[in-house]
Structures are given as structure tokens and as C-alpha cells.
């Protein structure tokens, strides 16, 4: 069973604060993703990566940075958090060919 | 890029009855098709993958139909039970990376 681990699971920060969400996958997958999930918007892709050092822009990248430090580790950075970034964030990974996306358990971020 | 419309957004089903969720997509080159299930407060779990050469897949308590001519993917819950109460998402794309997800269907099964 594919494993994607996110930390922290819950985070509260203040407007203007600095937040880093972490993700590790142990599936040897090439691709890793950061999504946000909001009522009425479904899942929206923020950034993704196909390997260490690579970063691709997703559909809603504004206000987010990301970095893939190793095959296993993908980080999402919010350098000036805003209330509009209050959301449920999912990290995911997939194989380049099989296509199945495996999700972590999510991080609930609240910006007050 | 790919656009996916999922209907209905909400579905209330009597236990034992069937229900259908449909996704229509726009990119005729889409090759990857998936259904995910998300129980309340939980992550998304892969329910079924549908390959382009497969028209019907059957799993435990559901049937998936892919109609490439009409660009339509459907999930049929054949005999709903309380454990089916969840949100369901289709995911479609021409490439393995960057799938486009539908907005989801929240299913409630009542006795």
C-alpha cells in the first residue's frame, strides 16, 4: 500500500505568518502534488514536481511556494499567510505511467 | 486544458437502491480515468481506475462505465448501504500527472 505522510495534521497561524507544510512519500513515485480542497471548488492543484529539484506550477499557485528536496520529500511554503489560504491541504504522489494518485491524510490550515 | 463536470453535487439514496454519478469531460485525448471516495473527515481513497480500453468495470457494490464517444464517465452504486455515504470524485486526464478532478458528489444513504 502506497504511503504518503503529511505533517502537521492541523495548523493555526496568524495573517502574515510563515507556514511550512511537509510531505513524505515512501512509494518511490516520480510525481508529487500539493492540492487544496475547499467546499464548492473541489480539489485544486497548487504545485507539483516530477523529481528532486523540479517544480511545476499548478492551477492556483499564487501565494504558495514549493520545494522538492529529495525523491521522498515535498514541502509547501506560505510566506505571508492570508485568511483566503484557510483550507484543507492534501499532498499526493503518483507513478509516471500507472497514474493512480495516492493521497496523504491532509493538513487543515487555519489563518486567523 | 481538461475540464470536468460532475453531477449531481448531492445525492440522497435509500438503502438498497441504486444511484448514478456522472462526469463529462472535454479532452478527447484523456486516457486516465479514476474514481475516488472520501469519507467524512478522511482522505481520498482510490475506488476504481478505468483504462481507455475498458468500458465497464465492476467492483464491490458498484459499476463504472466509460463512454469515450460521449466523453462520459459514470459510477453506479448498485445497492447502496450506509458505508457508501461519502463524497465521490472522478479524476480525468490525458497524462498520468496533473489529473483534473470533478467537484464531487456527496452521497447520503438513508434507511
Q: What percent of chain B has pLDDT over 90?
A: 58
pLDDT in tens, A83-96: 999 999 999 999 87
Alpha-carbon distances, residue B89 vs A7, A57, B4, B17, B102 (angstroms): 24, 23, 10, 20, 6
Shortest Cα–Cα distance, B34 to chain A (Å): 8
Residue B82, helix vs strand vs coil: helix
Confidence band of B57 (pLDDT split at 50, 70, 90):
low
Q: Which residue has the higher pLDDT, A72 or B60?
A: A72
Average of per-residue pLDDT across B61-82: 90
Is residue A33's pLDDT more than 90?
A: yes
Question: What pLDDT was estimated at residue B55?
Answer: 58
Q: Which of B43, B91, B97 sits opposite A104 (nearest CB)?
A: B43
The answer to whether residue B98 scores a pLDDT higher than 80 is no
Query: What tens digit of pLDDT does each residue of A42-87 get?
Result: 899 999 999 999 999 998 999 999 999 999 999 999 999 999 999 9
Q: What is the pLDDT of residue A1?
A: 59
Cβ contact, residue pair B43, A99, below 8 Å: no
User: Which residues of A touch chain B, with CB atoms under 8 Å apart?
Assistant: 31, 33, 40-43, 45, 48, 50, 56, 58, 90, 94-106
pLDDT at residue number B60: 74
What is the pLDDT of chain A when averaged over all its residues?
Answer: 94
Amino acid at each position: 500500500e502506497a504511503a504518503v505522510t503529511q505533517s502537521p495534521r492541523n495548523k493555526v497561524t496568524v495573517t502574515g505568518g510563515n507556514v511550512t507544510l511537509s510531505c513524505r512519500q515512501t512509494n518511490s513515485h516520480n510525481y508529487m502534488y500539493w492540492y487544496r480542497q475547499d467546499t464548492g471548488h473541489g480539489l485544486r492543484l497548487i504545485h507539483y514536481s516530477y523529481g528532486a529539484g523540479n517544480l511545476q506550477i499548478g492551477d492556483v499557485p499564487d501565494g504558495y511556494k514549493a520545494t522538492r528536496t529529495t525523491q521522498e520529500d515535498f514541502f509547501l511554503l506560505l510566506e505571508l499567510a492570508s485568511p483566503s489560504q484557510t483550507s484543507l491541504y492534501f499532498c499526493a504522489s503518483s507513478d509516471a505511467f500507472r497514474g493512480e494518485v495516492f493521497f496523504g491524510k491532509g493538513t487543515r490550515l487555519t489563518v486567523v | 486544458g481538461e475540464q470536468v463536470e460532475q453531477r449531481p453535487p448531492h445525492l440522497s439514496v435509500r438503502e438498497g437502491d441504486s444511484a448514478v454519478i456522472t462526469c463529462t469531460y472535454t479532452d478527447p485525448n484523456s486516457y486516465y480515468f479514476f474514481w475516488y471516495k472520501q469519507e467524512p473527515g478522511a482522505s481520498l481513497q482510490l475506488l476504481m481506475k478505468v483504462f481507455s480500453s475498458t468500458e465497464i468495470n465492476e467492483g464491490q457494490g458498484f459499476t463504472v462505465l466509460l463512454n469515450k464517444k460521449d466523453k462520459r464517465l459514470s459510477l453506479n452504486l448498485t445497492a447502496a448501504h450506509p458505508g457508501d455515504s461519502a463524497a465521490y470524485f472522478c479524476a480525468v486526464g490525458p497524462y498520468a500527472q496533473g489529473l483534473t478532478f470533478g467537484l464531487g458528489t456527496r452521497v447520503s444513504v438513508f434507511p
